[in-house]
Amino acid sequence: MTEHIIQNSGLLRSRTLEEFVRRQSIEEPLPTHNIFPPTSHALPSIDLHSARPEEQLAVACRDWGFFQIRNHGVPPALLDRLRAHSHSFFELPLQQKERAAACKANNFYGYGVAKARTYFPDDWMEAFDMEWTPVPRVRQHVEQVGLPHTQFHDFCGVVEEFASKTEKLAIHLTELVALGLGLDATTFSQHFAESTTSTVRMNYYPPCPQPSHTLGISAHSDFNIFTILLHDAVPGLQVLKDDEWITVKPSPDTLVVNVGDTFQAWSNGRVKSVMHRALVNSTEPRLTVVHFFGPHPDTMIVPPPALVDDHHPLQYRAFTYKEMVEQIMHIRGKKVFQSPLNSFLL
């Protein structure tokens, strides 16, 4: 079964496992995917219906850059349907999935194995990226796959409903964080009124014969505002906290959220974007669905004056979100991850 899943995914189609592992250059064996930290070191879990969640969010964004949220407003039934459709997509024959492959080297959108990782081309995963904003192109991406009529409309409907709800959730989170930082709620969200830049990605990690020698996704930070992640029951996400890799324990009906580089710069470092990665295992496939939320490309990223003072001098020069994306494309594929924020430091 494992061999069938790997071959169907295409991960071994163009290289042997030995060649693949050699290219990873992992200096020491990676830990198993299901070893969790003590409760005191677990990822913050925040109930959005609790009293003053903005304070909890501001602390989590400052100390962790990652958190789980409950009572987030996305129905559990919708999340279950999305997981089911995502699994069905990746179980399709490779030749069918590749009909939706990105045809341009610098195109984020479409299906891919090597292309799918923004930073590292050799990780043990495959992905399907669909543009949601500024122009929704979910149906254009999916129609290339050639799904049966009913399945096509069900698949697209579920993805679009998820994207719509998580888009609103991301904007709401920027308002709560603004309040937690002592700002007006609309300080950041006013910039999303006309347009945003968002992508929905399905990630799939097949069982790996040598999981201690490779990664599903190598260590990196995200470059956007917020990333909202739906996971299944199989663990694998790790977050770097105080120089230690913390494995996130999946929790039913929760969503994992992390701060992106752009929001770190926009807040003048009051919230932080942190490194994270994904482990793989030898027995179970793992699935995640991710909404990458960012502003319109022409949005100017300049911290609010209230977040700049003698104790918090300005850290980054002003830049547009378009410049951030261009910087990501420049560093894409390099062997060692380089934060795009380095290019904007004062």
Catalytically annotated residues: 286
**Residue 316 DSSP code:** B
Residue 228 DSSP label: E
Residue 30 has φ and ψ, to the nearest 5°, of -80, 155
DSSP 203: E
- Pairing state between β 196-205 and 286-295: antiparallel
Among residues 218, 215, 192, 213, which one has the least CA distance to residue 205?
215
Please give the distance of CA 62 from its chain centroid, rounded to a whole number: 19
Angle (deg, nearest 10), helices 53-63 and 149-180: 90
Could you tell me how far CA 212 lies from the centroid of its own chain?
A: 22
Q: 1 burial class (0-12, 13-18, 19+ CB within 10 angstroms)?
A: exposed
Q: Which CB contacts under 8 angstroms, 24+ apart, belong to 76-80? A: 76/252, 76/253, 78/158, 78/161, 78/162, 78/165, 79/162, 79/230, 79/253
Place of tokens 């009572």: 71
Using the CB atoms, write b or e for 200-224: b if 16+ within 10 Å. Answer: bbbbbbbbbbbbbbbbbbbbbbbbb
> Quick one: tokens of 139?
């149906």
Read off the DSSP letter of residue 119. S
